[in-house]
Amino acid sequence: MRQLNKVLFAVGFLVASVSSHADVETYKIDNAHSFANFNIRHVASKVSGTFSDVTGNMSIDRANLSNSSVDAKISLLSVNTSFAKRDEHIKKEEYLDVGHFADMQFVSNKVVSSKVPNEGVITGKLTMHGVTKEMSFPFKVLGYANDPWGGYRTGIEAHTNLKASDFGFIWGKPGGPVGDEIEVTLLIEGIKTN
């Protein structure tokens, strides 16, 4: 009888594990519909722009967002401030230095659900300009829906502020023409793959 109980416990544990794993949905980030938008001080005003080349994967457990994760990469070569001459200047060594550091990457290591459904705080390692820092920022799952092409999608919105100087950039000096603090809004759309 004791042996039978052990077998039943093992089977139950296996079923629970498979069921739990099945609850996690995997989404590939659609870089045609995903953006990392930013605002930064320029002299006495602000300049806004976007990085339009966002790739990676998201795993989402709708029932328990704390089981979710993300691994995303943003190509800094895709910077667009609606002024080509400025974009080329931003890419140079003086600013983003895309010749040496073409990408930034975020890999999550913790998600905390909030009391509000579909919202939480995600924490992970952000690597940019050869520097890796741990960051936490709030996010919201905007929804889930079938798309017109037979796929299934989700949308995520997240906001954070970061300091360029934390990543080794020196252009955000007090009194300089460009600010140190960057306001970031992430609008991420994912296509379900499982």
Q: Supply the range of the domain harboring residue 172.
A: 24-192
Q: Check which CATH number belongs to the domain holding 58 and give it.
A: 2.40.128.110
Full-model pTM: 0.86
Q: What pLDDT is recorded for position 2? A: 60
Q: Is residue 35 part of a domain?
A: yes
Q: What pLDDT is recorded for position 109? A: 98
Structure tokens at 24: 């996690």
Q: Is residue 143 part of a domain?
A: yes
Q: Residue ranges of the chain with pLDDT lower than 50?
A: 7-21
Q: Is residue 11 part of a domain?
A: no
Q: What pLDDT is recorded for position 3? A: 60
- CA-closest candidate to residue 190, choices 148, 143, 138: 143
Q: Is residue 1 part of a domain?
A: no
Q: Is residue 178 part of a domain?
A: yes
Q: What pLDDT is recorded for position 7? A: 45
Q: Is residue 59 part of a domain?
A: yes
Q: Is residue 13 part of a domain?
A: no
The total domain count for the chain is: 1
Q: Is residue 169 part of a domain?
A: yes
Q: What are phi and psi of 147, to 5 degrees?
A: -100, 170
Q: What are phi and psi of 45, to 5 degrees?
A: -135, -155
